[in-house]
């Protein structure tokens, strides 16, 4: 990836994170857009008037338990992501919790300041199937 493309992608993430941080409150911010090909990003944002680091990881679940999940990113890196019962699993149509996450699922994880994941977004076949089920109702 060229330096220019990396710079443009980073600037786009920072611009989007500004609107995400404005949400504030007790609800975590929404996922900012993550450019195609990115597996990890750290963005400095303001939440509730104080600075925080938003950490995004994209990968396939290699192992999952009630307190942690191991993500294998496309570059081969294995990242351990702490989980919490308060972690929001998306898309909402699935009505999943962290206890429904399974090995092999493609996900995006969002953490704030090295804490437990505040949001997990399921990608791929499972998410598409959920979208079809909701549309059929």
According to the model, what pLDDT value does residue 40 have? 93
Q: For residues 56 and 41, is the Cβ–Cβ distance under 8 A?
A: yes
Contact 79, 57 (CB under 8 A): yes
73-112: per-residue pLDDT in tens? 999 999 999 999 999 999 888 889 999 999 999 999 999 9
Q: Residue 17, class by beta-carbon neighbours within 10 Å (0-12 exposed, 13-18 middle, 19+ buried)? A: buried
Q: How far is CA 132 from the centre of its chain?
A: 22
Q: Is the pTM of this model over 0.85?
A: no
Predicted local distance difference test score (pLDDT) of residue 18: 38
Q: pLDDT higher for 128 or 5?
A: 128
Interval 16-71: pLDDT, tens: 443 333 334 468 889 988 888 899 999 999 888 899 999 999 999 999 999 999 99
């Amino acid at each position: 990836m060229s330096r220019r493309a990396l710079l443009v992608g980073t600037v786009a993430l920072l611009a989007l994170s500004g609107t995400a941080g404005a949400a504030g409150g007790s609800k975590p911010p929404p996922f900012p857009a993550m450019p195609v090909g990115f597996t990890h990003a750290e963005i400095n944002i303001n939440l509730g008037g104080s600075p925080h680091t938003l950490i995004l990881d994209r990968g396939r679940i290699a192992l999952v338990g009630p307190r942690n999940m191991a993500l294998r990113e496309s570059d081969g890196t294995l990242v351990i992501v702490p989980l919490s019962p308060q972690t929001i699993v998306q898309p909402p149509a699935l009505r999943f919790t962290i206890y429904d996450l399974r090995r092999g699922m493609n996900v995006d994880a969002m953490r704030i300041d090295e804490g437990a994941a505040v949001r997990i977004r399921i990608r791929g076949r499972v998410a598409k199937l959920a979208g079809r089920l909701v549309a059929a109702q």
